[in-house]
Structure 1
Amino acid sequence: MSPSVPSKPYIIPNIQDINNLLEYLPYFQDQNNQFHQVIGKPPQLPYSDYSKTVDKFYHDLYQRNMIMDFDWTQLIGEGEKYIKSRELLDTADITIIPKLFTMIIRSDRFTEGLLGDMIDNGFILDLLVRLKGIRKEIEDRFHGAILGLAVGDCMGVALEFTDPGSFQPVNDMVGGGPFNLAPGMLD
């Protein structure tokens, strides 16, 4: 019995990872591209020959934290739900998208041409479109957090260094405080 090999820790894709993969969006949107072809010359078994761009995309999925080390076979049933009911992708988050990419890439090893089928039926494009939506959601949350921090800091300036419970609640930018700042100014 061989010792088990520890799996590498999974890193959630960041904005740069997402941006890199979104560069492929126009390529997959253009149906004039030839993404792959099936080569079937006897006595060989048929196999898929992918375009250079699809090959690069395949490798970037690994480089950009979209391929996870987990038992992807456990996801096949759930993954098929996403494939059959594309509206489910609207609820997929940054933890689901890599699992779906992993399921497709790993399944392609056992089912020749599966990646090509997922490209042809638009599922890869749909995953990238959802990834674009996730990127926008992350950006919106980031901006909201920064705005909330700034507003909270401006409202709290009047209470700087004041002990909790020793003041009336503040619900406007009133200014003052130990630095006698004007309303809305930060120290």
Structure 2
Amino acid sequence: MTSRTGDAFVLKGGTALLLTYYLPRFSIDLDFDGRSPSVDLTESIQAGAAAAQLPVHSLRDAKHTPTVHRHMLHYRDDVMRPLKIEVSYRQAQQIDEDDVTTINGIRTYRLEKLASLKIDALVNRTKARDIFDTSFLLHRYPEAISDDDLTRIDQLIDLIGLNDLEAIMQDDDILNRFDLTHVAVSLVENVLRMRQERGGE
């Protein structure tokens, strides 16, 4: 879809990590930062669904505010979970093209920016997939984690503890094929290792 809409949108979140940086978990929802709320996504969504050979049962506008547009694409049959396509315009004026890249035709953020956004999400909402994705980033791309973000992760670990990190992930069906104890322990150990390597305590 981003190839059809020029520089109006930037893919972010788990699907961006999956499609461009080899995140090993399944992710289907499409989350974008957008520049202009006046751009109508309907035609691009329908064209993208056709290109992916998704039979569209319905496409509805689930939320439309000055800061967020959310579409729900129902495909295959009514019992399937719909595809959520959400565009946030909260950072419309702050999208820096130096943070943006194109990988395999996908306009997304550079890894350092995606990592920082993911850690923002982890600290602010601490959902299962944010924990998993952050553990992946710490293991696979430690150089993408800034010192400030590393400190924020460390503070979160101190606040909620290893056991709760694992417990939060247990309720997510998408993650149930992974060894979540290993994921949580890896996150904690990599934070400790990286702080030691960078001269932290």
TM-score, normalising length: structure 2: 0.24
Structure of larger gyration radius: 1
TM-score, normalising length: structure 1: 0.25
